[in-house]
Amino acid sequence: MSISFTFNGRPLEASAGQSVGAALTSNGFTAWRSTRKGGRPRGLFCGIGVCFDCLVTVDGDANQRACLAEVRDGMVVDGVEPLEGDRT
Amino acid sequence: MTEHVVQVDIFWADVAVVGAGPAGLAAAVAAAEAGASVAVVDSAAQPGGQYWRHRPETVIPDPDGRGHHDWDVYLDLRSRFDAARTRGAITYLPGRSVWMAQKHDDGFTLRTTPTLASPTPVATPTLASPTPVAVRGRRLVLCTGGYDRQLPVPGWDLPGVMAAGGIQAFIKANGSLPGRRFVIAGTGPFLLPVAAGIAEAGGTVVAVLEASAPSAWLPHLRAAVGVPEKALEGAGYAATFARHRIPYRTRSVVTEVLGENRAHAVRTARVDSAGRVRPGSERVYDDVDVVGFGWGFTPQLELPVSLGVATRIDADGSLVGVVDSRQESSVPGLFLAGEVTGVGGAALAVLEGLAAGGAAADGTGAPPSSAILPPKAAARAERHRRFARAMHQAHPVPAAWSEWLTPETTVCRCEEVTAGEITAARSELGAADSRSLKSFTRAGMGWCQGRVCGFAASCLAAGNSHPSEPSLAASAKRPLAAPVSIGELAALNDADY
């Protein structure tokens, strides 16, 4: 089953039951956070909720782990995208 | 200003269990079947842990277990778990993380917080409570598992680099792949199922790089034949590797992940038994979009450490909890099962969970039961432990791994502390353990609280690949075991228990 969500206002599709991280990855995004010090892009790393690298804002709640949160229909996801051209 | 009045619910049980993976499920089932009332707190939304992680049951209510090992064991434990829940013997609290555990004269209190701000609906009804839930158990069984151990390498902080176990978790939880072309590197038999899983899901495994060599197993063959199912499992992976033409290169490592703002390629090299790069052996694999690293596992030890259990360094160099044959730790009434007592795999974790759950139920008012494993199961557990020891010895963290670093290499991903800053803290400020390193450089002070860099930082501080027990214990000391809101902390003032 396909569901719709937005990432930084952009409408996207995902499969029901996917994690937010998987939904972003399958839409071609590998990074959605920027580090505090070096401004470096970050996305999924440990994949199981340990490293907190994949933090993203979900429906207004900041600092949610994209690897654990399940994407839902109508979900509003916000993060820091890397510059154009860095995507897959 | 709205005043936050938070009702703190306390749930009382004979036995509290943390974790619902192989060890936690087994412990809960054993305790419940011995007549105890059981509460299970798990950070995930559904049972299974990392090993039996599967797609959300809200979407796939009846998973077929494809890509899983011992799925029949899971189904058996799960049906007993569900049956115990139905008759009220087990209360299951999914989607909650324990952020603090406390010991009292007559038991333990676990303070929990939602893992996610707006938790995913679960397939089966549960105690729905928007407020912090504390669990009080006369006995406590900690089955918190572990996660991939990491060694930093230049470029490992680029998007596209993942923990090997994270790739596997992605596939198990989503039924899809996090990329197209993968390189899997590190050491240990776990790299095999990760690569096989990628190939079977339709991905291309460009190479699997194993730092050790098959000959490292030769001194340990006796231990290996003691667990014949591991050989069968290995033969299965060999067949998958042949079918998908996956190159498996031993004595090989990734020395650098290449890319500007994401991983595009890896530089690899052949190494000697200490992990020193053989000059002239370097090569580049292009067109790689996911790199998976796994250097064994790190047991999740902050809750046992915070409760004061005696610890030791296991054969793989990990900090683990000391237990007796009943899985009881040095803290009376506190039991440990699974990877927290030594990384040994799911089959051993189940046996330990059964022993711990049975022993924890004994004397909680439950009728006396066979608390200790029957002799055959105990012998099986011992064979698995011997196998695990052999595996750890055959797949060590390479002694010279830090030679792959440059001064600019990020070691602490959260606080962005470089290898150069860490060596400077060591040579100029005398930081020889994780604790002083933390105060001088902030390594281990960020979101992950040193879970990812703790082992590596301890190695760099010590100047070797065998961090000391105090250094690893200091790194595992995390007063808050999970991020918790100010509101939940404030509510503690009113909680008189």
Tens place of pLDDT per residue across chain B (497 aa)? 344 444 557 899 999 999 999 999 999 999 999 999 999 999 999 999 999 999 999 999 989 898 899 999 999 999 999 999 999 999 999 999 999 999 999 999 999 999 998 766 554 445 544 555 899 999 999 999 999 999 999 999 999 999 999 999 999 999 999 999 999 999 999 999 999 999 999 999 999 999 999 888 888 888 888 888 888 888 899 999 999 999 999 999 999 999 999 999 999 999 999 999 999 999 999 999 999 999 999 999 999 999 999 999 999 999 999 999 999 999 999 999 999 999 999 999 999 999 999 999 987 766 665 557 999 999 999 999 999 999 999 999 999 999 999 999 999 999 999 999 999 999 999 989 889 999 999 999 999 999 999 999 999 999 988 999 999 999 999 989 998 888 888 777 555 45
Query: Which of A46, A65, A70 comes nearest B56 by C-beta?
Result: A70
Q: Is B232 on the interface with A (CB under 8 A)?
A: no
pLDDT for residue B232: 86
pLDDT for residue A87: 47
Contacts across the A-B interface (CB distance below 8 Å): 134
Q: At what angle do helices B454-462 and B419-429 cross, to 10 degrees?
A: 40
pLDDT for residue B364: 75
Task: Single out the residue of B334, B337, B330, B379 nearest to residue B355, CA to CA.
Answer: B337
Q: Rg (Cα) of chain B, in Å, rounded?
A: 22
pLDDT for residue B367: 66
Tokens for B383? 């064979």
pLDDT for residue B360: 96
Query: For testing the chain B interface, which of A1, A20, A45, A55 should be mutated: the one with the most B CBs within 10 Å?
Result: A45
- What CA–CA distances, in Å, run from A85 to A24, B30, B261? 16, 54, 9
By residue count, chain A amounts to 88
Would residue B204 be called left, alpha or beta, if left means φ above 0 and alpha means ψ between -120 and 50 degrees?
beta
Query: Which of B56, B157, B162 comes nearest A17 by C-beta?
Result: B56
Distance in Å, alpha carbon of A85 to nearest chain B alpha carbon: 9
Q: Is A39 on the interface with B (CB under 8 A)?
A: no
Query: For testing the chain B interface, which of A20, A68, A86 should be mutated: the one with the most B CBs within 10 Å?
Result: A68
CA–CA distance, B273 with B296 (Å, rounded to integer): 17
CA–CA distance, B364 with B106 (Å, rounded to integer): 11
Task: Single out the residue of B84, B92, B87 nearest to residue B29, CA to CA.
Answer: B84
* CATH fold of A2-78: Ubiquitin-like (UB roll) (3.10.20)
Q: Rg (Cα) of chain A, in Å, rounded?
A: 12
Tokens for A21? 């991280």
Q: Is A44 on the interface with B (CB under 8 A)?
A: yes
Query: Which of B115, B147, B176 comes nearest A46 by C-beta?
Result: B147
Tokens for B485? 């809101």
pLDDT for residue A47: 97
CB of B166 closer than 8 Å to CB of B268: no
Instruction: Using the structure block, give the residue that is written with the tokens 């200091």.
Output: B474
Q: Is A73 on the interface with B (CB under 8 A)?
A: no
pLDDT for residue B219: 85
Q: Find residue B113's DSSP bridge partners.
A: B97
CB of A30 closer than 8 Å to CB of A15: no
C-alpha B306: how far from chain center: 17
C-alpha B10: how far from chain center: 28
Distance in Å, alpha carbon of B15 to nearest chain A alpha carbon: 26
Question: Which chain A residue is nearest to residue B167, measuring alpha carbons?
Answer: A47
Global confidence as pTM: 0.95
CA–CA distance, B361 with B141 (Å, rounded to integer): 10
Q: Find residue B267's DSSP bridge partners.
A: B256, B284
pLDDT for residue B1: 39
SS3 content of chain A, % helix, strand, coil (to 5): 10, 35, 55
Note down pLDDT in tens along chain A; length 88 residues.
Answer: 899 999 999 999 999 999 999 999 999 999 999 999 999 999 999 999 999 999 999 999 999 999 999 999 999 999 998 765 444 4
Residues sharing a CB contact under 8 Å with residue B255, sequence separation 6 or more, in sequence order: B153, B154, B267, B268, B269, B277, B282, B404
- What CA–CA distances, in Å, run from B258 to A25, B102, B265, B386? 20, 46, 5, 39
CA–CA distance, B223 with B383 (Å, rounded to integer): 7
- Alpha helices of B307-403 — where are they, by DSSP H? 346-361, 375-394
CB of B195 closer than 8 Å to CB of B177: no
Q: What angle do CA B63, B67, B68 make, to 5 degrees?
A: 75
Question: Which chain A residue is nearest to residue B298, measuring alpha carbons?
Answer: A50
Instruction: Using the structure block, give the residue that is written with the tokens 């933090």.
Output: A55
pLDDT for residue A88: 45
Residues of B in contact with A54 (CB under 8 A): none
CA–CA distance, A71 with A15 (Å, rounded to integer): 8
Which SS3 state, helix, strand or coil, does residue B9 take? strand
